[in-house]
Chain A
Amino acid sequence: MIPESLRQELQRRVAGAVTPREAAVDVMKELQRHYGWLSDEAAEEAAGLLGLSPLQVEELATFYEMIYRRPVGRNVIHACDSISCWAMGGETLLRHLEQQLGIEAGGTTRDGAFTLLPCPCLGNCGNGPTIMIGDRLFGPVSPEQAGILIHELQRHGAD
């Protein structure tokens, strides 16, 4: 269950969209913010709010790489593995991040602080290799710079 205030806010946004489907990403992101990830319950909630079937929400949720259908850590690191970043050393950067966090790509650290997700294209091709932590985009990022970024986050705790 989501708080009534959030429900009303989302209903207002759906009503304001040209078609309910148009508000889907917005609704999913808000629910994700509330639940930490788009849980099954959140997907059901989204379907109800949008007037779509759970499958139709699932179609959208699994299409967008920043909608998480599995639990993720407090900080999600997206590392671009598309062609421009790959050409600029994205692969090395990803390996380095894996090593530093002690997890494989796709995994979450044991303390729940970090999830590392390779993804194709963050739209920052001119500044590869690129990573994105939360809502912040970084690039070009050397392995050393990435190390410092993570170290900072580890020191200061989540956000």
Chain B
Amino acid sequence: MPIYNPKFMPKLIIDDITVEVPEGTTVLEAAQSVDIPIPHFCWHPALGKAGACRVCAVKMLDGPVRGIQMSCMLPAQDGMVVSTTDPEAMAMRKGVIEWLMINHPHDCPVCDEGGECQLQDFTIAGGHGIRRYDGKKRTHTNQYLGEFIAHEMNRCIQCYRCVRFYQGYAGGTDFGVMGRASMVYFGRQQEGPLDSPFSGNLVDICPTGVFTDKTARFRARYWDYDLAASVCPHCSLGCNITPAARYRELLKVIARRNDAVNGWFICDRGRFANAAVNAPERPRQALVDGKPVTVNEALDVLVLRVGEFLELHGPASLAIVGSPRMSLEGNIMAARLCKLLDAGALSYVGDAVQAERTMGAVSLLASGNAASLADVRQADLIVVAGCDLLEEAPMMALAARQAHRNGARVFVVGDECALDGARQELYESQAVTSLSDIPLTEAKRPVVICGTHPKRPDTAPLMAPLFGKKGLQTPVKFAFILDGPNAFGCALLGREHDAVPLSQAFAGGAIKGLISFEADLPAELTAGITVLAATDWQPTGLMQRAEVVLPCTAWVEQDGTFINNEGRAQRFKQVMRPGLPIKGLDPAGHPPRIHRNDAPGGDVAPSDRVIAMLIQRITGDTPVDGPLSGRWEGLRSLDADGEGKRLTDAA
């Protein structure tokens, strides 16, 4: 990436609007900055330019360059006068679109991309409405690329985005571009599933329907989707996503841009591992001792049983269990419930080592030293210790690759190098045994990435000397890989409310019963403990054992907040209404013949609401404060479309 003088701002005129942009900005980006759209296929903000499609033509009326130019290839310069509406430029763009469409099939009505297709949009916008070409079209044989991505090469317009992403950005080696001239083919050498754990992004970046999401094939059109800004729950990084749902079924997940976090992309786990939301075995019915009841009845029974339990064993024998995969709101309410019942233990994590390491990581992240994924992408020196990035936080590995591509050196510390599976494929790294082997003093933007998994060696003693280390050009920034989308939030709450890891709470033998909320606990940990109630949207072992089962909504069915691994609070919005997906219902029962306000299986609430209802029943009918009150008040106004709010910076 060339380094430009940040102080020099070329000033140019685009369509009579004066634009001032940092040096190095292309004319296309300069136009976008004042909301002048210029069609483009090969140019992509994260992949840069290729000059392959020729559709971003503009006319330079005056200045250092004259005539028709490709706006994605041309850096903005002082004194340029640009017209995007000049007849010559418009004729050029129209012509380019016409010849891009020569081989493109007229299959929009049966193409999954229809309605969310850049080629469709620009063809219409460019004014190419009638096809003059009546010759034969070039055709290709498609490949089987695995269970997630459908391949339709005839639609290709040779923008090279897919291969630039797959090999360049994501380091894959099994997909590429073959042939030449009119026989350019984007695919694998032989049919087979794509190897890259980021392959799903081909679906997002292909400007037309060559790569479509097979899991959502032929299910709905763009304008029929329920869409909302959301956050991925699969690891602690909090990548931004836009889930698309219809008829109470989560159809697919699309990456959502957040320059501070995931940039433009997400990993395949975040995109394709969401079948649990629609799963038939998902708990949707409140149960008491295995018998179906309404949520209200279940709550009434639970209040009675908790009362009996407390009377019999005393409050010290009860544990309230939250979870790093539950929203911040739910976890706040769990703490409140614990306080109200004066329960013996509040717990967010099962494993004591995990809890200790997470707590340690969170307390180390102070103002300014937490590395966001953007910081990792821009780092010039990266240290990885005690984690397998591709396994625990794939997008962190992809971020490290971007730094590596820009010249950053990557070091893997300790003898656990074998754990860092990413290094082989995504970046070259150097194994070192101690921190003293790393030239930290040479780095301008050093970032250290540490794991916290209990099975891995502890990195804290290794890293401790780095905090506040003297003699560096810039203080080191840290990224910790935690064990859930809200692990950071749970650590903050745990510190505030003296939560203990569940294994530690059980150690004394005083705990006899628990109420769990979206908790994943190993069966052996809770053996012999009464599960008074469990709330979850996944069929966990606790849900099967619980006396009172209270189903709750999945994250796509509610508003909420996750705090990611760097302490960034991010709001996610409700995408779809909860309830059994219409697909899979007995056709005889749909549409329902009886009037009801909620969908079948839709009598569920978010965990924080479930806890609020429980608290309301226990305290009498006084209304319960919303979870985001008191010290969390500041998160109420969090904008789901923004970059989130870093709590580590607030201090």
Contacts and interface: CB of A to CB of B under 8 A. Distances in A.
A147 interface: no
B464 interface: no
Contact of B176 (A59, A65, A120): A59
B189 A54 contact: yes
Interface in B486-527: none
A76 B364 CA distance: 69
B188 to A, nearest CB: 6
Question: What band does the interface of chain B fall in when counting residues whose beta carbon is under 8 Å from A?
Answer: 10 to 19
A53 B185 CA distance: 17
Contact of A58 (B178, B180, B181): B178
Interface in B166-218: 173-181, 185, 188-189
Given A63-B180, A120-B181, A58 B173 contact: no
Nearest to A54: B189
Interface string A120-137: 100000000000000000
Contact of A55 (B175, B179, B180, B181): B175
A8 interface: no
B179 A63 contact: yes
Contacts, number: 29
Contacts of B176: 55-56, 58-59
Contacts of A58: 176, 178, 189
Interface in B244-260: none
B15 to A, nearest CB: 37
Contacts of A62: 178-180, 185
Interface in A49-73: 52-56, 58-59, 62-63, 65
Nearest to B177: A59
Contacts of A55: 173-176, 178, 188-189
B171 to A, nearest CB: 11
Contacts of B188: 55
A58 B190 CA distance: 10
Contacts of A54: 189
A56 B173 contact: yes
B173 A52 contact: yes
A55 B180 CA distance: 15
B569 to A, nearest CB: 41
A55 B177 CA distance: 9
Interface in B134-186: 173-181, 185
A129 B554 CA distance: 70
B328 to A, nearest CB: 43
Contacts of B178: 55, 58-59, 62-63
Contacts of A52: 173
Contacts of B173: 52-53, 55-56
Contacts of B179: 62-63
A137 B370 CA distance: 64
Contacts of A63: 178-180
Nearest to A69: B178
Nearest to B195: A53
B169 to A, nearest CB: 16
A139 B175 CA distance: 40
Nearest to A43: B189
Contacts of B185: 62
A135 B176 CA distance: 30
Interface in B404-438: none
Interface string B375-414: 0000000000000000000000000000000000000000
B184 to A, nearest CB: 9
A54 B181 CA distance: 21
Contacts of A65: 180
A157 B179 CA distance: 32
A58 B180 CA distance: 12
A5 to B, nearest CB: 28
A65 B181 CA distance: 11
Q: Which residue, of B174, B178, B180, has the highest number of chain A Cβ atoms within 10 A?
A: B178
A89 to B, nearest CB: 22
A63 B181 CA distance: 9
Interface string A11-46: 000000000000000000000000000000000000
Nearest to A59: B176
A150 B516 CA distance: 86
Contacts of B181: 120
A143 B188 CA distance: 41
Nearest to A64: B180
Nearest to A44: B189
A63 to B, nearest CB: 5
Contacts of A56: 173, 176
B634 to A, nearest CB: 50
A15 B175 CA distance: 26
A43 B493 CA distance: 58
Nearest to B167: A56
B170 to A, nearest CB: 14
A58 B181 CA distance: 16
Nearest to B188: A55
17 contacts: A52-B173, A53-B173, A53-B189, A55-B174, A55-B178, A55-B188, A55-B189, A56-B176, A58-B178, A59-B177, A59-B178, A62-B180, A63-B178, A63-B179, A63-B180, A65-B180, A120-B181
Given A52-B173, A58-B189, 19 more contacts: A53-B174, A53-B189, A54-B189, A55-B173, A55-B174, A55-B176, A55-B178, A55-B188, A55-B189, A56-B176, A59-B176, A59-B177, A59-B178, A62-B178, A62-B179, A63-B178, A63-B179, A63-B180, A65-B180
- 6 pairs of A and B residues whose beta carbons are closest in the complex: A53-B173, A55-B189, A62-B178, A58-B189, A62-B179, A59-B176
